[in-house]
Amino acid sequence: MAWIKWDFICLPKEDGGLGVRRVGAFNVSLLGKWCWRMLVDKEGLWYRVLKARYGEVGGRIREGDRLALGWWKMICRLRDGVSEGVRRWFDENIRKVVGDGRNTLFWYDTWIGDIPLRLKFPVSLI
């Protein structure tokens, strides 16, 4: 039985609440931080570990199969814009700069519309 509304508990202490963070939003933020690290720190230890574990396709670490760890699948879903309730949150909150092109994932990133070019224009092998 709930005695108090969750919205009240999550209010800042200055506003009379308990200052408890919204766990869902906090989790999405932390997962977003991992997505960012995977984009900008490709020489880092975690990137190399995940690359060795799941493989890399088109400059991105693969999601893996059904045996992939749950937290990694959640990061991949957030990165790819298919997370429940957050849709394209990550893509909408980062700025893409082409630069010298080394970190540009032309076919895998969403540039125009809602889907990556590799899905919009699939290559058919005859």
What 3 state SS string does 10-41 have? Answer: CCCHHHCCCCCCCHHHHHHHHHHHHHHHHHHC
pLDDT of residue 49: 92
Q: Above 60 in pLDDT, residue 113?
A: yes
**Annotated domain spans of the chain:** 6-91+100-120
At 1, is the pLDDT very low, low, confident or very high (cuts 50, 70, 90)? low
Q: How far, in Å, CA of 1 to CA of 16, rounded?
A: 22
Q: Above 80 in pLDDT, residue 97?
A: no
Taking residues 54-71, what's their average pLDDT? 83
pTM above 0.75, yes or no: no
Residue 56: which H helix or E strand, with range? strand 56-57
Q: Is residue 63 within 8 Å of residue 54, measured between CB atoms?
A: yes
Q: Is residue 110 within 8 Å of residue 121, measured between CB atoms?
A: no
